[in-house]
Structure 1
Amino acid sequence: MTYPMWTAGKWLTKSLTLAALCIGVIGAPLQADQLRVLTSMPPSFYQPFVTAFGELFPDIEVAMLNKNTNASVDELLRGNERQFDVFWSSSPEAFELLHQNGHLAVSETSGAPAVNSFAYSALGWTQKRASPVSKTADWEALLAADKTGTIAMARPSRSGSTHMMLERTLQVRGWQEGWAYLLELAGNLSTITARSFTVLDGVANGRFEIGLTIDFLAHARAEEDLTFVYGTPVMVTSARIGILTGGNAPAAARQFVDFVVSDAGQRLLMTPDIARTPHSASIRAEATAPYHQVLEDALTLNWLEYDAALASERYWAVNALFDAFVFEVFETRREAWRRLRVLEAQHDAPTVEMNDIQRLLTSLPIGEDDVGNEGRATNGNAFATLSDRQEASLQVWRGASRDILHEADVLLRVLERRAARDVVRD
C-alpha cells in the first residue's frame, strides 16, 4: 500500500484533538475501533504519525501511552491487562524479551514475530554549541579530568536507550573492561537522572555541559542550541515497532505498523521535528541532513552487530549491577574519584597505592557468567517483583560494592594523612 505525504500544517490542525485523545483515554473502557499503542517515544515523535494515520483511517481511534521502555516491558510481562495492540521503542532487547515470553504476535505468513525495524539510531552525547567544554568524538575523552562534574546520564533501569548504551559498552569492550570504563565514567558524572528527556533538559538549561543520549532526541531539539556528537566508532542499532498479543485490534495494529514502515511513514522520520534516520534504504537515499550520512557511513562499516538477544538475557542483571555499583553509591563513588585525582595531582606519577585505588574503583567482582541465570529469571517475572534468587544476588552485589568502596576509602585515608604530613614538613 502507498500513502500520501502529510504536511506540517495538517499536523498542527489536529494537535488539540490529538492531545485530548492521548490524555486519560488509556484508563477508559476499551472500544472496538480503538487502537492502543504503548511507546517510549516522546509526543513530538509520535503525534505526526498518529495525525497522518488518522487522515487515512478516520474510523480508527488511536490512543497513545508514553512510558519508559523498562516500565513498558514490565507491564507487558505482567499480562498486558490494558490490552495494548502495538509496542514502539528504540530498544531492540525489549522486543527480544517480549518475544521470549510470548507477548509478540506471530506473522501468519512467515511464522516470525510481527516486528518491523523502522529507523536507525546511534549513541553519543549532546552539548550546547557554545559549550566551554571541548567537543570530541572519543569515548575515552569523557574520562579526562577536565570533564569532571560536567556529564549527566539517565539511570539505565529507567531508560531503554541508556541501558542500550551500557550494553554497547560491555559488548564492544568486553565485560570487565566495559565495567571498568563505566565505573571510571561515574567519577565524572554530575548527576544521574530519572529519564532520558531530563538529560537534554539539563544541557539546554545549563545544569551540566554534556548529556549522554541517543541521537534523535538531540537532533529534534536543535533549535535549543543543542548539538549531538556521535561517539566513535559509531555503532548503529535499529529501532522497532511490533504487534502485541492480547490486544483488541490486531487488524488496526497491522495497518498502523504498515504505515510506519511505508514510504510516507519513513519520510515523516526525516522531518525536523522528528529527525530520525529511516530504515528504508531507498528513503534514506533522499536524506540531506548531515547526520543521515554519518549513520549511512556507519552502516557500511558496522563492524560489531548489536547482540540484542544477549542483552535481553541479562537485562535485569546489567541494570541491577549499575544500581548496586553506581547509582545507589553515587556520591560515595564520585567522592572517592575526586580524592584520588587530588592525590594524583600532587605527584609526578601515580604511586603503587594510587594504582591499587584505581583498580578498586574500576573493579566489578562479578563475572559475566555469574549473571546469566539472574538475567533469564527476570524474563518470566515482572521486573518489579524479584525472584528469591534475584533478591539474593542483589544483596550480594550491594555488599561487594560497599566493601570495595570501604577498602578504597581506607587506602585514600592513608595517602591523605601521608600527604598532610609532607605538607607540614615542607
Structure 2
Amino acid sequence: MTLLETQWRGMRSGKIALAALWVSLLGTQLSADQLRVLTSMPPGFYQPFVAAFSQKHPDVEVITLNKNTNASVDEILRGNERQFDVFWSSSPEAFELLQQNGHLATVAATGAPDVHSFAYSALGWTQKQTGTTAASAGWDALLAPEKAGAIAMARPSRSGSTHMVLERSLQVRGWQEGWAYLLELAGNLSTITARSFTVLDGVANGRFDIGLTIDFLAHSRAEEDLSFVYGTPVMVTTARIAVLADGKVPEQARTFVDFVVSDAGQRLLMTPEIARTPHAAHIRAEATAPYHQVLEDALTLNWLEYDAALASERYWAVNALFDAFVFEVFDARREAWRRLRVLEADLAAPSVAMHDIRRLLTTMPIAEDAVGNEGRATNANAFATLSERQETSLQEWRAASQALLNEADRLLKVLEAEQTSDLVREE
C-alpha cells in the first residue's frame, strides 16, 4: 500500500517540519530521522512544542496526527500500522490500556514503561467570560431546572476528556449515585457533540451557554471571551506522553519526550497559547495565572486521586453504558425530564408516582461488578470489532435502558391525564 494522502505543512531551514496524516501509512518507506507523533492535543497546543523541538534538533523531521483519544487507542491496539513513535494525551487511562496490552516501550535500565507525566488538568465547564478570577462551583449547579437546554458535552466514546467527566462522577460519588447524576444531567443537555473542540465552539458562538470540558482547552481560548469554572471538589488528573513499543525511531522518540518534560518544555506549557499547569513542581512555582493556584490547592489537599487504573478496566463499558442510556435515547430521555419538571412545577407536592418516575430516570440497573476486566463486559478487543460478550452485554443494556424509559413514559401519561382531569373539574 502506498501513501495515498499526506497533507504536508513542511517549512525547512529552521522552520517547522510538520504534517497531518489522514490515511494509512502502511508500507510507506520511513526516512531515518522521521519522528511520528500521535496526539489528541489540538494544533494550538502541539505546534509550539514541535517548533521549539525542531530548532534544537533540525535533523529530526516531526510528523503529527491529531486524533481523539479513543480513536488513537483503537489504532495502536490494532497494531499501530502507521508506526507512530510517540503517544501524547490528557487521558491517563489511555496509557494504562496501552501498557496492559504491551504497546508502551520500556526503559532499558529499569524495565518500567517509558511514560511520563508532563501536566496537570482538571474538569469543569466553560462559559462566557465573567471575570479574571479563577472560578469554581459545585457540579450539582448543572442540575438546576433553569439550566435545561443550556449545556453541551461531547460524546464520551469520542472524547477522552469527556470520558473523564463520567469517571470523575463515578469515582467521587460512587457507581449508582454517579450514574444518577449523569442521567439527570442528560435532562439539561442541549446537544452531545462528536468532538471536545465543538463544545467550546458552541459556547463561543452562543449556541449554548455552558460546555463540559477540560481546563486547558478553555484557558487557551480566553481571547474568545471564554472562561472556565472548576467543578468542585476539584479532582486533578495527570496528562502523559509515552514512547510506543512498535515505533521506528525510539531514540528520537525519547529525545522528543525528554524535551516535553524538560524545564524548557514545562515553561512552554505556561504560555498563553497553551495555558497548562506544568507537572514539575519547581516550574509550577513560577506560575502566576489564577488557575494554576486552583490546581496547586487541589494537589495540596489531595483528598482523592483520579484512579486511572480503575478507569482503564471499565473503559469500554462506561462509554457503552452512556451510549445505551443517554446518547442513543437522548431525545426520549430529555423529553421525559422536561415532562417531569412540568409536573413538579405545577403540583403542590410531589406524589409517590413522581418519585417513582424520578427513580426510573436516574436508575442504572447494571451493577459495578458486572463491568470491567473482572466482570462480564470485558475490555478485551474493546476498540475494534466487539467481542460476542460485549455485543451481548450491549444489547441487554439497550433493552434495560428502553424498559426504564417506557415505564417512566407510562407513569408520566397517567399523571398528565390526572392533571388534565383536575383542570377540567376546576373549570
TM-score in terms of structure 2 length: 0.93
Q: 1:16 to 1:391 in 2, by over 3 A?
A: farther
Partner of 1:6: none
| Equivalent residues in 2 for 1:186-205, closer than 5 Å | 186-205=186-205
The unaligned stretches of length 5 or more in structure 1 are 1-12
| Residues 66-88 of structure 1: CA deviation (Å, up to 9, x unaligned) | 00000000010011111110000
| Residues 190-225 of structure 1: CA deviation (Å, up to 9, x unaligned) | 000000000000000000000000000000000000
Which whole-Å CA distance do the structure 2 matches of 1:194 and 1:98 have between them?
23
Name the one with the larger helix percent: 1
Q: 1:68 to 1:375 in 2, by over 3 A?
A: farther
| Equivalent residues in 2 for 1:148-163, closer than 5 Å | 148-163=148-163
| Residues 228-271 of structure 1: CA deviation (Å, up to 9, x unaligned) | 00011111011000000110000000000000000000000000
Does residue 1:121 correspond to 2:100, yes or no? no
Does residue 1:363 correspond to 2:387, yes or no? no
Which whole-Å CA distance do the structure 2 matches of 1:378 and 1:83 have between them?
27
Partner of 2:351: 351
Q: CA deviation at 1:20?
A: 5.6
- Give 1:59's aligned amino acid: D
Partner of 1:294: 294
Partner of 1:249: 249
Does residue 1:106 correspond to 2:133, yes or no? no
Q: 1:121·1:215 contact (CA, 8 Å) conserved in 2?
A: yes
| Equivalent residues in 2 for 1:34-113, closer than 5 Å | 34-113=34-113
Partner of 2:424: 424
- Give 2:322's aligned amino acid: F
| Residues 293-326 of structure 1: CA deviation (Å, up to 9, x unaligned) | 1111110012111111110000000000000000
What secondary structure is seen at the aligned counterpart in 1 of 2:62? strand
Q: CA deviation at 1:349?
A: 2.1
Q: CA deviation at 1:379?
A: 4.2
Which whole-Å CA distance do the structure 2 matches of 1:90 and 1:376 have between them?
28
Which whole-Å CA distance do the structure 2 matches of 1:338 and 1:346 have between them?
12
Q: 1:204 to 1:124 in 2, by over 3 A?
A: same
Q: 1:160 to 1:358 in 2, by over 3 A?
A: same
Q: 1:63 to 1:204 in 2, by over 3 A?
A: same
Does residue 1:22 correspond to 2:20, yes or no? yes
Partner of 1:206: 206
The unaligned stretches of length 5 or more in structure 2 are 1-10
What is the count of residue pairs matched by the alignment? Answer: 411
Which whole-Å CA distance do the structure 1 matches of 2:14 and 2:194 have between them?
28
Which whole-Å CA distance do the structure 2 matches of 1:259 and 1:340 have between them?
54
- Give 2:183's aligned amino acid: L
Q: CA deviation at 1:381?
A: 1.6
Q: 1:33·1:59 contact (CA, 8 Å) conserved in 2?
A: yes
Q: CA deviation at 1:377?
A: 6.5
Q: 2:154·2:162 contact (CA, 8 Å) conserved in 1?
A: yes
Which whole-Å CA distance do the structure 2 matches of 1:232 and 1:250 have between them?
40
Q: 1:378 to 1:104 in 2, by over 3 A?
A: farther
Q: 1:155 to 1:15 in 2, by over 3 A?
A: farther
- Give 1:338's aligned amino acid: R
Which whole-Å CA distance do the structure 2 matches of 1:267 and 1:61 have between them?
23
Q: 1:373 to 1:136 in 2, by over 3 A?
A: closer
Q: 2:126·2:213 contact (CA, 8 Å) conserved in 1?
A: yes
What secondary structure is seen at the aligned counterpart in 2 of 1:230? strand
Partner of 1:4: none
Q: 1:388 to 1:337 in 2, by over 3 A?
A: same
Of stretches 90-99 and 365-374 in structure 1, the one that deviates more from structure 2 is 365-374
Which whole-Å CA distance do the structure 1 matches of 2:367 and 2:18 have between them?
50
Which whole-Å CA distance do the structure 1 matches of 2:48 and 2:375 have between them?
37
Q: CA deviation at 1:165?
A: 1.0
Which whole-Å CA distance do the structure 2 matches of 1:378 and 1:370 have between them?
9
Which whole-Å CA distance do the structure 1 matches of 2:377 and 2:385 have between them?
11
Which whole-Å CA distance do the structure 2 matches of 1:70 and 1:403 have between them?
29
Which whole-Å CA distance do the structure 2 matches of 1:76 and 1:224 have between them?
35
Percent identity (aligned): 77
Which whole-Å CA distance do the structure 2 matches of 1:55 and 1:379 have between them?
41
Which whole-Å CA distance do the structure 2 matches of 1:17 and 1:417 have between them?
70
- Give 1:263's aligned amino acid: D
Higher relative contact order (CA 8 A, sep 6+): 1
Partner of 1:274: 274
Q: CA deviation at 1:338?
A: 0.1
Q: CA deviation at 1:375?
A: 7.2
Partner of 1:316: 316
TM-score in terms of structure 1 length: 0.93
Q: CA deviation at 1:26?
A: 7.2
Which whole-Å CA distance do the structure 2 matches of 1:136 and 1:241 have between them?
28
What secondary structure is seen at the aligned counterpart in 1 of 2:122? strand
Partner of 1:306: 306
Q: 1:176 to 1:16 in 2, by over 3 A?
A: farther
